Structures are given as structure tokens and as C-alpha cells.
Structure 1
Amino acid sequence: MIGGFRAIVAAATLALGALITTPAAAGVLQCAPFARQVSGIELYGNANTWWGQADGRYERGHEPRVGAVLAFSASRSMPVGHVAMVSKVVSEREVLLTHANWSYRGGVERNVRAIDVSPNNDWTDVRVWYGPIGDLGLRPNPAKGFIYAHKASDAPVQIAMADRATAGSDAARGAF
């Protein structure tokens, strides 16, 4: 009976230890909250839902722009997808990304290289810098495209305001 009691106490202690350490594991920095913070794009949930959530709320496309979020598709190796902010456009097929939880669990990487390897040059297959090997990852990662930081409903207003500002400066110079 005493041996059985010790086994129960040991099991309870182990279970209690797991409960105590679980919140610490939950505190690991994830890609979605980090991308939301650095980009200002107000989407929530797993990364693989961002592309669909952005429809009608934010402009989406296949052209890299600084501040845009590259939305990776869910895959076998990334069951909940991934999101990363474009920190610099190097060329139409290369960008630098700032993101969390890619090379290292909970780690943040800034200005790491990513290249478009898709056959149609549309950023649907991307190779990304992977810290443990010190180079681009060995396989391409499927992606949906870019979510742009301004809201879809704001785009015409921003363009109209930019046109007015240009027209005002052109008028001041007498150029039309």
C-alpha cells in the first residue's frame, strides 16, 4: 500500500510540474503576434488564416513591398503556416524578412534573406534563410502572397490624397 501511495504522489508531483511549466512554454514568441506588432496589420489567429482574413480588409498581391506581410501556406512542415514582414526589397525576387519563430523556437530574426523560387515569379514558393545551416533553407516553402499594411478601404483615399498633394505642388511650380 505504501508503494502504491508513493507512486500516486510521484505521478501527482510530475503532473503538477507539467502544469507549472506549461505557462512558460505558452510564452514562446510566435510569428503571428510578432508580425502583427511590427507590421500594424490587425489580423489574429494562426498564420495560415491570415491570407483569407485579409480578403476585403487589406490589399493582397504578389509584389514585395516594405512593411507587407508574406503569408506562408500551411504545409506538412508548417501545419499552421507562417507570416513574416518584409523589411527591405532587394529585387523583385529577393527580400529581407523580419520574423519570429523560424530558425529558433521563439527567436526573432531581422533582415534575413528570402528569395522567390516560384516558376511564375509570384512568390508562391519561397526559400528563406535558416540560421542553423547559415544559408537559405534547403526546400522551398509554399506561400500565398503579400498582405499590404494599409487597409483595402483606405487605398483609394490614400491615392486620392497623394494625387491632391502632387497636384498642389505641381500647381505651385506652374507645371501641368
Structure 2
Amino acid sequence: MLHMHKNMVAAFIALLSLFALPSAAHARLQCVTYARQVSDVQLSGNARDWWSHAEGRYDRGHAPKVGAVLAFAGTRAMPYGHVAVVHKVVDDRHILINHANWSRPGMVERGVLAVDVSAAGDWSEVRVWFAPTRSLGLRPSTAKGFIYPRTVTASAAATASAG
């Protein structure tokens, strides 16, 4: 019985240690850092530069795929750009994304709606769920497209060759 009690105490202490993270872990999480942590796209620099940095390293395109990174352009309202990881493709114009630093500084959001509002249906204009207003953003954001990690490209190629 004492051995089981010691195991329970050790498990409880281990659980508490998860909440006692160093102060650096409480720093505001940026979208680039978050995207690198949760995706297989490993680029550096500001989000606005990811599209160009991906050239020759990753496939890029205008169709959403799970695991791809949606790269937003730098704009007056968003000078450093933004990146988000596709969590789920709902249909050609609706996806769910995981990202950080959108609705509030450092806030991580998972499974939020992003909608292609471009006239051409090419994801060049996107509206994203904005938590403070509990609605899609009031203005569309300019996007460059999707950066596909090699794992997504390889699985798509395998599916195509099998079919």
C-alpha cells in the first residue's frame, strides 16, 4: 500500500511540474515560432518572408491541405505577415487552422475558421475568426498561399500513384 501511495505522490508532483514552467515559457508566442513547433515546415524569418523562403525548399500552391502552412503577406495592418497551420479542410473555401498571436498577443488558437473570400477562389484574400468579436475578421487579409511540408507532398504523390 505504501508503494502505491509513493507512486501516486510522484505522479502528482510530476503533474504539478508541468504547470511550473520557467518564465521563458510564459513569453508571448509568435506565429512563426508556433508554426515551426507544430508543423513540418521549418523556415525562419518573419512570417511575411516564409513564402519566398520556401521557394526551392518546399512545394507551394493555392489549395489547402492538412499540415500545410498558410502564409499571409505583410500589410500595413500586419507588417510582419502571419502564418497558420491547416488543421482541417472543410471544403474548397473553408478550413480550420491552428495559429498563435492573432486574436490576442501570444494567444494560441486551435481549430479556428478561415474562409477564402477571394474572387478567384485562390486563397489570396482570407478572413479569419477573431475571438474578441466572436466573428470572422472585419477585413480580409492578403495571403500568398500554402506551403506544403514534404510529408504532405509525399502522401499526396503516393495517393495519386496508387489511384
2:77 paired with 1:67 = no
CA deviation profile, 1:60-118 (whole Å, cap 9, x unmatched)? 00000000000000001100000000000000000001000000110000000010000
Match of 2:6 in 1: none
* One-letter identity of the residue aligned with 1:58: Y
- The alpha-carbon deviation at position 155 of structure 1 amounts to 4.9
- The alpha-carbon deviation at position 160 of structure 1 amounts to 6.3
Larger radius of gyration: 1
* CA–CA separation in structure 2 for the residues paired with 1:160 and 1:139: 38
Structure 1 157/141 Cα, relative in aligned 2: closer, same or farther at 3 Å? closer
Structure 1 99/159 Cα, relative in aligned 2: closer, same or farther at 3 Å? same
TM-score, normalised to structure 2's length? 0.78
TM-score, normalised to structure 1's length? 0.73
Match of 1:56 in 2: 56
* One-letter identity of the residue aligned with 2:33: P
- The alpha-carbon deviation at position 27 of structure 1 amounts to 2.7
Structure 1 162/100 Cα, relative in aligned 2: closer, same or farther at 3 Å? same
* CA–CA separation in structure 2 for the residues paired with 1:39 and 1:109: 15
Structure 1 38/157 Cα, relative in aligned 2: closer, same or farther at 3 Å? closer
Unmatched segments (≥5 aa) in structure 1 = 1-22, 168-176
- The alpha-carbon deviation at position 37 of structure 1 amounts to 1.0
Match of 1:119 in 2: 119
* CA–CA separation in structure 2 for the residues paired with 1:90 and 1:156: 21
Match of 2:132 in 1: 132
* CA–CA separation in structure 2 for the residues paired with 1:104 and 1:161: 39
Identity %: 55
- Find the residue that maps to 1:70 and give its secondary structure: strand
User: Pairwise CA RMSD of aligned residues?
Assistant: 2.4
Pairs aligned (count): 140
- Find the residue that maps to 1:28 and give its secondary structure: coil
2:44 paired with 1:44 = yes
